[in-house]
Structure 1
Amino acid sequence: MSAPQQAGPSPITRALTPVGRLFALGLDITKQIFRPPFQLREYIEQTWFVTKVSALPTALFTIPFGATIALLLASLTQQFGAQSQTGAGSVLAIVQQAAPIVTALLISGAGGSAVCADLGARTIREEIDAMKVLGISPIQRLVVPRVLAMATTAVVLNGLATVVGVGGGYFFNVIIQGGTPGAYVASFSAIAQVSDIVVSEVKAFLFGFVAGIVAAYRGLNPPPGAKGVGDAVNQSVVISFVLVFLINLVLTALYLELVPPKGI
């Protein structure tokens, strides 16, 4: 009689295993950040690279975002006779939601894909294994500078996206739709809080950090061959997008519950 075949892992186990490995990599990266030596030169080079490939697309992408929000809110406030609140609604929407999301999408799509492709190419060329044999931690030497570069660059680009988005919304509301400049600015200044900027920057940092972890995970674990690296890049971008929107939902809900709104 032939020995009974052992059953393979269940579908749930197969689905949760990559999640656990991704979470473990994130913890490892977080620990390695505070463990010397820090690769400052690599961090600066990666920060400049991510900024170079993401800054202009972020600015250009934010303009239609801000314009669309301003035009939509202006149309809605006119229907309800609350045109004076257009500035408050559009600017808060850009600061709290649009700017961090646009930054995360561009950081993931431009910077994250490049990081994943670089690490994936090193992995299939067995450079990562060679570093481990030599006693060099690839996480500390390669991954940490890239993840931190994406996170800190996201904070800077979020500020750029906020300024461009608010400027675009102001232009389209005041110039195109004939809104009042004073009412646009006054309504925002009456309801805005410093915490709105803080939560926006916190979102941007977390989005960049998560996108960097996902890019590193897929780059260090690509399918075999050059095609596998390309598939890993696509997967990293898609996974980053999904996680960014989930994290944004959680952070927005917590912010609205914990921070009381400012009265006019």
Structure 2
Amino acid sequence: MWQAKIFRYQRDHTQSFHRIVDGEEKTGILTYYENHVYMDSDFVPAGSVQYITRDSLLAKYRRDMDRVDRRFDILRAWGVLPTRNCHILDLGCGYGAFIAQWMAHGFGHAYGIELSSAARQVSPVSSHIMWGDVNRADSLPIPGELSMIVALDVIEHLFDVKQVLKTLYRKTGPRLKMLIEIPIVKPGIDTEALARYKYLYPTRHLHLYTPCGIEQTLCECGYRLLQSEMLKDGNKCLMLIEKEEL
């Protein structure tokens, strides 16, 4: 057990940390997401969105699109960037930067799931975004002919990671791929270093995985790792995984 301020974390056998949250905390976390829009690497209160100037909004869009294009560069280097007819679902898509760029490049159809209704107000692809809570994977609308699921900076926010991954496995077709981006911690990190860890806060990060921890979790849920690349000075990892036939 490890405690940071008022938050308690359980350390598992892979040296990963998982925050202990009760029902009231979960409600507060979901309410926060409902009332904020994630853009330009920050959560913006829904009530403030209308006051963002057009120039500022366009600048935020450009920075987000640049980040997405850098992810495309990695996919291209892996040899998996499609030319067309690759249809994706982006979980926790925010206002849809990834799906907007995906369609703009002509890679295929793209749809997103987002809890914040305000995100659609600033989205250039609002008709492609469906409202939903990724934690409730059983109720998520999964489009047919899906080639890949995208979950960038989402896994660490889920209440029950394995339940969501197993549900997605069950609801999707064979050999489905997933693109995941997630903060990670080094194995054996001490509590002093962890207290200074860049992604410990915001406090809605519920899971701090080691590389071994996230890979083992994915394996237990029926997925195998195809490619991975460290980002942000080794503090984040981009992973391409694929469903294994059980």
TM-score bucket of the superposed structures, by smaller chain: under 0.3
- Structure number with greater Rg is 1
More helix by percentage: 1
So what's the TM-score if we normalise by structure 2? 0.28
Select the structure with the greater relative contact order (CA < 8 A; seq sep ≥ 6): 1
